[in-house]
Amino acid sequence: MKAKVLVVEDEEALALLAAAYLEREGIECHICGSGEEARIAFRGGSFDLVLLDINLPGMDGFEFLQELRLTSSVPVMVVSARESDEDVITGLSTGADEFVSKPVAPRVLAARVRALLRRSRIGSQPAGPRKTSSFGPFILDFDACMLSMGGKRVPLSAREFDVLAFLVDNPGKTYAAQDIYERVWGQRFGDATTVGVYIQRIRKKIEIDPGQPERILTLKGKGYRFNLEAFEGGA
């Protein structure tokens, strides 16, 4: 079943752009230009996530969120041009699950929405086959955000899972640390060397010899590659 997102944004061009990218990811969107409109839409439909602008005509995003939280625990991603620490704190304490500051590339926004949808599904398993990927003795369960080896859970932090899931989703392709950072962290600017730290941690969990990695390869000057062939036959 398609995930459904309520997009609350008064700038029509921005709303349409975000919706276009989300729909490309197979996500259905319903756009509202005000909190009042969103209140009615939310009552009338079932949504898997709310993408919420803060500066809105009439009631602002925080007011909408506060009211929404009285009746719903739907995941909410706040997107705001107001990026003072105070606003972030207000957003998170009002019940936002994530805070994204504008401007944000629509591609990045769509990736973050998808990641939040995935995380929020841990609590409510959808019916039907689970999305999993197996390599050698490992099974990566995208819905439960879990890695297991031979039926036993391999502990991973949420971010380690996200990095691994991204690589597993794109086997055989080489990604620069910066690309991985943008796709997984959802931010264009930041310390991409963090990616290397996470790769090291993941290697300790999936490589036979983390000092001589074969499963997540480092290609000098190019980046990292998930090497599916290296799992054949190995434990």
Which positions from 106 to 125 touch Ca ion by CB under 5 A, shown as an x/- string?
--------------------
Q: Which is nearer to Ca ion, 10 or 63 (CB)?
A: 10
Task: Name 26's Cβ contacts closer than 8 Å, sequence gap at least 6.
Answer: 2, 3
In the bound state, the residue with its beta carbon closest to Ca ion is 55
Stretch that binds Ca ion, among 6-14, 83-91, 177-185, 227-235 (CB under 5 A): 6-14
Choosing from 18, 21, 51, 53, the residue that interacts with Ca ion (CB under 5 A) is 53
Choosing from 24, 55, 58, 229, the residue that interacts with Ca ion (CB under 5 A) is 55
How many CB atoms are located within 10 Å of the residue 191 CB?
11
Stretch that binds Ca ion, among 51-59, 84-92, 119-127, 176-184 (CB under 5 A): 51-59
- To Ca ion, the closest distance from the beta carbon of 24 in angstroms equals 23
Q: Which is nearer to Ca ion, 10 or 28 (CB)?
A: 10
Measured between alpha carbons, how far is 124 from 119 in angstroms, rounded to an integer?
10
At residue 92, what is the residue type?
Answer: L
83 makes contact with Ca ion (CB under 5 A)? no
Stretch that binds Ca ion, among 54-62, 85-93, 148-156, 200-208 (CB under 5 A): 54-62
10 contacts 33 by C-beta, under 8 angstroms = yes
- To Ca ion, the closest distance from the beta carbon of 58 in angstroms equals 11
Q: How many residues interact with Ca ion (rule CB under 5 A)?
A: 3
Task: Name 36's Cβ contacts closer than 8 Å, sequence gap at least 6.
Answer: 58, 59
- To Ca ion, the closest distance from the beta carbon of 56 in angstroms equals 6
10 makes contact with Ca ion (CB under 5 A)? yes
60 makes contact with Ca ion (CB under 5 A)? no
Interacting residues with Ca ion (CB under 5 A): 10, 53, 55
